[in-house]
Amino acid sequence: MALHYRVSQKGLPSRSGTGLTCDLSTNGIAFRCRHPLPVGAHVEMRVAWPAKYADTYPIDLVITGFVVRSDSTRTAVRVTSRKLRTDLLAAAPYRASA
């Protein structure tokens, strides 16, 4: 699944990017991205969930955690929080015209 991430590390500007998930569990996520991420850095991710709410509204899995491993091919993150979110307000114009 496609994901967007933002990495923040104390004393440095945050940076963002995209990637593809490799493995996902309740305690961790591994994904591929273009550059290794700093071990110990805090990461916020939005994973595009394959299902839709009411078969209409996109769902994202929002994950936060810390990088535990990263090399040129994979990054592994220990998950500290996760929740499914949908943006019903963004879809409101479509509901109004239905």
Residue located via tokens 């078969």: 55
Q: Which pTM was predicted? A: 0.80
3-state secondary structure the chain: CEEEEEEEECCEEEEEEEEEEEEECCCEEEEEECCCCCCCCEEEEEEEEEEEECCCEEEEEEEEEEEEEECCCCEEEEEEEEEEEECCCCCHHHHHHC
Between CA 77 and CA 70 the distance in angstroms is: 9
- pLDDT at residue 55 in the model: 81
The CATH label, of 1.20.120, 1.10.238, 2.40.10, 1.10.3470, for the domain at 2-87 is 2.40.10
What would the pLDDT profile of 6-50 be if each residue is shown by its tens digit?
999 888 888 999 999 999 999 999 999 999 999 999 999 999 988
Between CA 38 and CA 5 the distance in angstroms is: 13
What would the pLDDT profile of 61-88 be if each residue is shown by its tens digit?
999 999 999 998 899 999 999 999 987 6
